[in-house]
């Protein structure tokens, strides 16, 4: 199977017949398709030829989890070793990949806002529009800034190839099984796709209204980044036109909105006393102030042209893309300034991107060596700011222009030895006009001191390298070793808004170069597949927070960091109808200058997962999933006996989920899902470790989903 899979993929992908995903799907079955990736090198290649840790989440796995929880955070936490546990909210703050921020993409187009990372990038597309998810771990510069932890790429669905129009409509309701009152929500999703001669089309739409979310005691979860009463909409379109067998034009559009519109208010508890924050109905003056929090109609437009035979054995892909993001955050009293009659404030991360990419892939065959040369140019203009809704400027407008050239090579020697090496040269100009930091008051006497900062254009030039080797000695043992670098200037906005000097040139805005080392192996036995990897990453200028007792502001601290860990995966086909997928991951990290452990904004506790799928017949399928989050207690309380920042201790907890589906007619399928099957009473890891106000929110109690799908 190993050699057969490799050969089929090579025939499908190589030379002048290099294919897009729809062509690959026509030539390969589902099992073989799961051995093909695109994210690691920007062209399709066999997963067996990549010397790095990769997680592929199939459409079947996505659909099974969607029946339990429609949030992509939850799916990724369950399926991806090395990714931090689910936060149970709309924010993925603290949900790092191997201790660093991943770059979120849709079909290779960045969705994150690295210049001012608001940690909302994971939730940018409805799962019903996704055909598969590719996760490449470890720092990489193949897609540019913001991928210090790796890449999470949502690969959208493709139009079917048989020329017939196909469609699907799904209707479901999600509600608390602990206390039904006000908890019932409704979700409707629909998809239509087909081909007409040279034209292909795919349209998906989803609309969801949540009821209130309740914990194991029946109380409504706290509202900070909460999902109670949230309204989520997603409309995605992909249109394609084949000029001939070798030339294709594709257009895609994505609109995503998810906002919490509620009449509730928080009852704030103290995490140091083990008290939760929960929500109740309150008079209008006590309700959440300001605009509804969440993405306010984010839009992406992509135009891609591919010539599969530009020259002999050379493929060309040209991409143009634009993105408009407005992420609204909750009203916070910490953004107060009584002197100017501001009792608090609400911020918005606004980001506009315009990008162009040219990627070429040339295949050359020697006597016993197959060589691939992937090269091109990327250009991006990213304009990001974080103003307050009331007109104050918290983070000034940052205008980033970047141009990068790259070369990635792969050498397959005698079908067994794979060597990859690459280089990327990046030139970035970041312009910021003169600005003044905000005066922010935590109390009437605890205020930051505003500073007038002289703006400037800061130049960044970085050359990053990667090299890896993999030896497919045998199906039973396939070791790999790799070294990769990433260049990261992410979250400059947080540095600017906390400036303590009067010139941008004096702020430590230098780029961080991340060096990532990884060693591991894959093994395939008759019924068992094993994946094991260990890694270490270092950076001379990481960014953490330190609380200023005088001003009440968390100020950035730039210091060298080291992060290390290991992961393991076991995929066991117990019988033709029973399959088990289990993972374990451990990560730890330190500020090496001060020799202190990093907080939970970067480092998550140990995590184990298991997914047991039973399909006794073609019409019935059941999946039981298990999540274990371990202890992490690295810090001591302060002189007042309280933990600060992201240093709270984490106690372990366990959660079980159950989902099932039954095909009761040719075109009809019913499904159920139960989250937190045994109604475990727990605080998620982030709620335990974050001491910032309002994060101490319990996990969901037992929550059920029931629905039906009609296909035509």
pLDDT tens across 106-120, in order? 998 888 888 898 888
Whole-angstrom distance, CA of residue 94 vs CA of residue 348: 20
Whole-angstrom distance, CA of residue 102 vs CA of residue 98: 9
Whole-angstrom distance, CA of residue 493 vs CA of residue 490: 8
When pLDDT is averaged across residues 10-30 and rounded to a whole number, the result is 45
Concatenate the DSSP letters of all residues of 73-132 into one string.
HHHHHHH-TTBPPP-SSS--TT--BTTBPEEEEETTEE---GGG--S-TT-SS-GGGEEE
- The tens digit of pLDDT for each residue in 63-74 reads 988 899 989 999
When pLDDT is averaged across residues 80-102 and rounded to a whole number, the result is 92
Whole-angstrom distance, CA of residue 517 vs CA of residue 64: 34
Nearest to 93 by CA among 494, 608, 686, 631: 686
When pLDDT is averaged across residues 702-707 and rounded to a whole number, the result is 98
- The tens digit of pLDDT for each residue in 465-518 reads 999 999 998 889 999 999 999 888 878 888 899 888 888 888 877 778 899 999
3-state secondary structure of 7: helix
When pLDDT is averaged across residues 565-574 and rounded to a whole number, the result is 97
- The tens digit of pLDDT for each residue in 187-235 reads 999 999 999 889 999 999 999 999 999 999 999 999 999 999 999 999 9
Q: Quick check: 426 pLDDT over 80?
A: yes
Number of alpha carbons in the 13 Å side-chain half-sphere of residue 27: 17
How sure is the predictor about 38, in pLDDT bands with cuts at 50, 70 and 90?
confident
When pLDDT is averaged across residues 571-595 and rounded to a whole number, the result is 96
Whole-angstrom distance, CA of residue 442 vs CA of residue 74: 33
Q: Which domains does the chain have, with CATH numbers?
A: 2-711 (2.40.170.20)
Buried b (16+ CB within 10 A) or exposed e, 639-656: eeeebbbbbbbbeebebb
As a residue count, the chain comes to 712
Helix (H) or strand (E) holding 64: helix 59-66
Whole-angstrom distance, CA of residue 421 vs CA of residue 410: 7
Whole-angstrom distance, CA of residue 518 vs CA of residue 536: 7
Q: Nearest 5°: CA angle at 69, between 647 and 183?
A: 95
Nearest to 683 by CA among 93, 217, 65: 217
Looking at the DSSP bridge assignments, the partners of residue 548 are 553
Distances (CA, A) of 409 to 419, 467, 519: 8, 9, 20
pLDDT of residue 1: 39
3-state secondary structure of 497: helix
Taken in order 225, 227, 232, 237, the sign of the CA dihedral is positive
What is the percentage of the chain residues whose pLDDT exceeds 70?
93
3-state secondary structure of 366: coil
Q: Which two tokens stand for residue 711?
A: 């296909």
Whole-angstrom distance, CA of residue 325 vs CA of residue 300: 9
Concatenate the DSSP letters of all residues of 311-362 into one string.
ETTEEEEEEEEEEEEEEE---BGGGBBGGGTBS-B-BEEEEEEEEEEEEEEE
Helix (H) or strand (E) holding 250: strand 247-260
- Name the residue with higher pLDDT: 42 or 155: 155
When pLDDT is averaged across residues 99-112 and rounded to a whole number, the result is 88
pLDDT of residue 443: 82
Whole-angstrom distance, CA of residue 675 vs CA of residue 76: 15
Q: Which two tokens stand for residue 540?
A: 């001379």
Per the CB < 8 A criterion, the answer to whether 485 and 468 are in contact is: no
What is the percentage of the chain residues whose pLDDT exceeds 90?
69
Which of 135-139, 460-464, 701-705 has maximum average pLDDT?
A: 701-705
pLDDT of residue 148: 86
Per the CB < 8 A criterion, the answer to whether 122 and 87 are in contact is: no
Mean pLDDT of the chain: 90
Q: Quick check: 13 pLDDT over 60?
A: no
Category of 83 on φ-ψ map: left (φ > 0), alpha (ψ -120 to 50) or beta? beta
- The tens digit of pLDDT for each residue in 393-424 reads 999 999 999 999 999 999 999 989 999 999 99
- The tens digit of pLDDT for each residue in 118-158 reads 888 888 999 999 999 999 998 887 887 888 889 999 999 98
When pLDDT is averaged across residues 370-381 and rounded to a whole number, the result is 95
pLDDT of residue 428: 92
The residues, ordered by sequence, that sit 6+ positions from 473 with a Cβ below 8 Å of its Cβ are: 416, 479
pLDDT of residue 573: 97
Q: Quick check: 9 pLDDT over 50?
A: no
Per the CB < 8 A criterion, the answer to whether 612 and 590 are in contact is: no
pLDDT of residue 417: 95
When pLDDT is averaged across residues 564-577 and rounded to a whole number, the result is 97
Per the CB < 8 A criterion, the answer to whether 88 and 80 are in contact is: no
Whole-angstrom distance, CA of residue 641 vs CA of residue 124: 40
3-state secondary structure of 306: strand
Q: Quick check: 307 pLDDT over 70?
A: yes
Q: Nearest 5°: CA angle at 592, between 588 and 593?
A: 155
């Amino acid at each position: 199977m190993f050699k057969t899979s490799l050969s089929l993929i090579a025939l499908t992908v190589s030379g002048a017949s290099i294919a897009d995903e729809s062509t690959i799907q026509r030539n390969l079955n589902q099992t073989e398709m799961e051995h093909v990736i695109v994210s690691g090198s920007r062209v399709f290649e066999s997963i067996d030829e990549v010397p790095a840790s990769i997680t592929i989440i199939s459409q079947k796995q996505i659909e099974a989890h969607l029946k339990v929880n429609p949030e992509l955070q939850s799916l990724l936490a369950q399926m991806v070793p090395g990714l931090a546990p689910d936060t149970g909210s709309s924010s993925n703050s603290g949900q790092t990949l191997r201790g660093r921020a991943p770059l979120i993409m849709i079909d290779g187009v960045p969705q994150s806002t690295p210049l001012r990372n608001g940690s909302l990038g994971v939730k940018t597309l409805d799962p019903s529009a996704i055909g598969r998810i590719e996760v490449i771990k470890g720092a990489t510069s193949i897609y540019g800034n913001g991928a210090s932890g790796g890449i999470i790429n949502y690969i959208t669905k493709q139009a079917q190839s048989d020329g017939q129009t196909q469609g699907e409509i799904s209707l479901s309701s999600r509600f608390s099984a602990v206390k039904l009152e006000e908890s019932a929500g409704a979700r409707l999703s629909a998809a239509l796709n087909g081909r007409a001669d040279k034209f292909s089309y795919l349209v998906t739409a989803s609309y969801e209204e949540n009821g209130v979310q309740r914990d194991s005691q029946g109380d409504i979860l706290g509202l900070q980044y909460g999902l109670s009463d949230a309204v989520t909409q997603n409309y995605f379109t992909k249109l394609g036109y084949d000029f001939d067998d070798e030339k294709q034009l594709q257009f895609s559009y994505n609109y995503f909105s998810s906002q919490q519109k509620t009449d509730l208010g928080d009852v704030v508890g103290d995490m140091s006393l083990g008290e939760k924050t929960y929500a109740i109905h309150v008079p209008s003056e006590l309700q959440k102030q300001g605009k509804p929090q969440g993405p306010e109609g984010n839009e992406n437009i992509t135009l891609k042209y591919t010539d599969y035979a530009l020259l002999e054995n050379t493929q060309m892909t040209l991409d143009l893309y634009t993105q408009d993001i407005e992420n609204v955050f909750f009203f916070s009293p910490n953004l107060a300034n009584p002197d100017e009659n501001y009792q608090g404030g609400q911020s918005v991360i606004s980001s506009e991107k315009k990008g162009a990419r040219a990627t070429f892939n040339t295949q050359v065959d020697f006597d016993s060596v197959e060589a691939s040369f992937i090269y091109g140019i990327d250009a991006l203009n990213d304009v990001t700011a974080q103003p307050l809704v009331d007109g104050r400027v918290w983070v000034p407008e940052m205008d980033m222009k970047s141009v990068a050239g790259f070369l990635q090579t792969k050498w397959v020697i005698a079908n067994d030895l794979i060597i990859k090496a690459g280089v990327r040269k990046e030139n970035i100009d970041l312009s910021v006009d003169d600005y003044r930091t905000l005066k922010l008051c935590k109390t009437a006497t605890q205020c930051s001191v505003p500073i007038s900062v002289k703006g400037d254009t800061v130049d960044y030039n970085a050359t990053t390298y990667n090299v890896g080797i993999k030896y497919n000695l045998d199906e039973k043992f396939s070791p790999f070793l790799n070294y990769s670098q990433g260049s990261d200037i992410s979250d400059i906005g947080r540095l600017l808004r906390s400036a303590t000097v009067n010139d941008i040139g004096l702020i430590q805005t230098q780029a961080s170069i991340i060096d990532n080392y990884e060693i591991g192996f894959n093994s395939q036995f008759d019924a068992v597949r094993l994946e094991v990897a260990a890694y270490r990453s270092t950076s001379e200028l990481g960014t953490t927070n330190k609380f200023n007792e005088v001003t009440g502001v968390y100020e950035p601290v730039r210091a060298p960091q080291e992060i290390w860990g290991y992961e393991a995966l076991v995929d066991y086909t117990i019988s033709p109808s029973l399959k088990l997928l289990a993972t374990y991951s451990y990560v730890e990290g330190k500020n090496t200058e001060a020799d202190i452990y990093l907080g939970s904004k970067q480092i998550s506790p140990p995590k184990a997962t298991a997914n047991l799928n039973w399909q006794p017949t073609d019409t019935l399928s059941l999946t039981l999933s298990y999540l274990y989050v371990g202890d992490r207690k690295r810090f001591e309380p302060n002189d007042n006996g309280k933990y600060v920042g992201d240093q709270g201790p984490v106690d372990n907890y366990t959660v079980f989920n159950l989902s099932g589906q039954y095909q009761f007619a040719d075109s009809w399928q019913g499904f159920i899902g139960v989250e937190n099957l045994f109604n475990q009473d727990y605080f998620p890891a982030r709620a335990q470790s974050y001491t910032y106000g309002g994060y101490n929110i319990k996990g969901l109690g037992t929550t059920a989903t029931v629905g039906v799908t009609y296909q035509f």
